[in-house]
Chains A and B, each alone.
Chain A
């Protein structure tokens, strides 16, 4: 989008409210919904990728070393990754700010 969401008016909408930029929801931050944050312990990680496949946000990615990490811009802190990680490499800690 050319303008930030707050500055958009009805004049900026396409006819029929068509959104012309595919997947632009990725500019929207959902990370601030989070009350718990996943912490990845790479010593226990076996790089199986279960956290990646079970993340409803699709925000867990693999880094160059093959370990996984969550993109906190999107992570809503559901805790599915921590629950499903069977080597228990992921733990949820409360957000303290």
Chain B
């Protein structure tokens, strides 16, 4: 163990709570993120999953990939079901029907289930202060139904419902800043993570699960099918999203911002975009526009982090 940081992947738990044999596309970043999150969560967990990629890849009847109690819900009520489970456990423990113990309730949803359809239930659950962890696996479109745009699709991305062509540049609206919306509820813990930084992701999921009260972790999940990229580039693209400042990794603990990876100089956004077919049509003007927006947002985030407040 001469160089601890190099060998650290070997030190994580070998137990897979998300069984292999799931039907995720080849090179799926979301399946990797779920696998890592389940490793971090451990056995005493109840998972609630919205409709979406994670649900259809993991639970094709008569098979299931889950080795922890798991329930499937609709898009719109993931956070509501998780709140109900949390309250139910609390009351059962109070009445002595089950032994007093720590059980983590986790809600998982995709970006559509979080930022479009499930946002009202999520907002309600965050506001009521239930003790649960919400994981959003953001692959930036409705991938399981065939790459339709969601409000988390980035500006300029070509999807089947925002196709690029002579008239359109693809998606014409900017990505909804979901972690900021979660942080605006003044909840104890909000974080962004990416499976390209696996140890960081597992630490954040663990921290979110241990936080009393609601916690929200937004996880960027590279989707080779929908992003039109090579399957072996999943990890590299996730890393580039962080290094270019498009998806900065940060935590908001009780309103205090902290940047986890602060690069002295960001890479240009083209490094990230040129690997993906969904951005291949973009002209230099549009890329410059995106670059300006990314730099401005990163500077804003950095300022919040240096002030140590929101």
Contact = CB atoms under 8 A, between A and B. Distances in A.
A54 B230 CA distance: 16
Interface in A23-71: 23-30, 33, 46-50, 52-59, 62, 71
Interface stretch (B174-182, B231-239, B281-289): B231-239
Contacts of B236: 83-84
Interface in B1-29: 6-10, 12, 16, 18-24, 26-29
Given A23-B64, A25-B21, A27-B21, A47 B28 contact: no
Nearest to B224: A78
* Interface footprint category on A: 35 or more
Interface stretch (B54-62, B120-128, B132-140, B186-194): B54-62
B24 A56 contact: yes
Contacts of B235: 54, 80, 83-84
Contact of B10 (A17, A59, A62): A62
Nearest to B10: A49
A17 B61 contact: yes
Interface string B117-155: 000000000000000000000000000000000000000
Nearest to A8: B62
Interface in B159-203: 195, 198
B9 A50 contact: yes
Secondary structure class of chain A's binding surface, majority of residues: loop
A83 B12 CA distance: 21
B61 A19 contact: yes
A95 interface: no
Contacts of B29: 56
A74 B67 contact: no
A16 to B, nearest CB: 11
Contacts of A54: 32, 195, 198, 235
A8 to B, nearest CB: 6
A45 B36 CA distance: 23
B163 to A, nearest CB: 27
Nearest to A3: B62
B231 A58 contact: no
A13 interface: yes
A22 to B, nearest CB: 5
A57 B16 CA distance: 10
B10 A23 contact: no
28 contacts: A19-B59, A19-B62, A21-B64, A23-B19, A25-B21, A25-B64, A25-B65, A27-B63, A28-B21, A28-B63, A48-B6, A48-B9, A48-B10, A52-B9, A56-B27, A56-B32, A57-B20, A57-B22, A58-B19, A76-B27, A78-B26, A78-B232, A79-B27, A79-B230, A80-B27, A80-B234, A82-B232, A83-B233
A71 to B, nearest CB: 7
A26 B19 contact: yes
A96 interface: no
B10 A47 contact: yes
Name the 5 nearest CB pairs between A and B, nearest first: A79-B232, A78-B27, A49-B9, A23-B19, A53-B9
Contacts of A77: 26
Contacts of A5: 62-63
Nearest to B69: A22
Interface string B207-238: 00000000000000000100000111111100
A15 interface: no
Given A53-B198, A56-B35, A13 B62 contact: yes
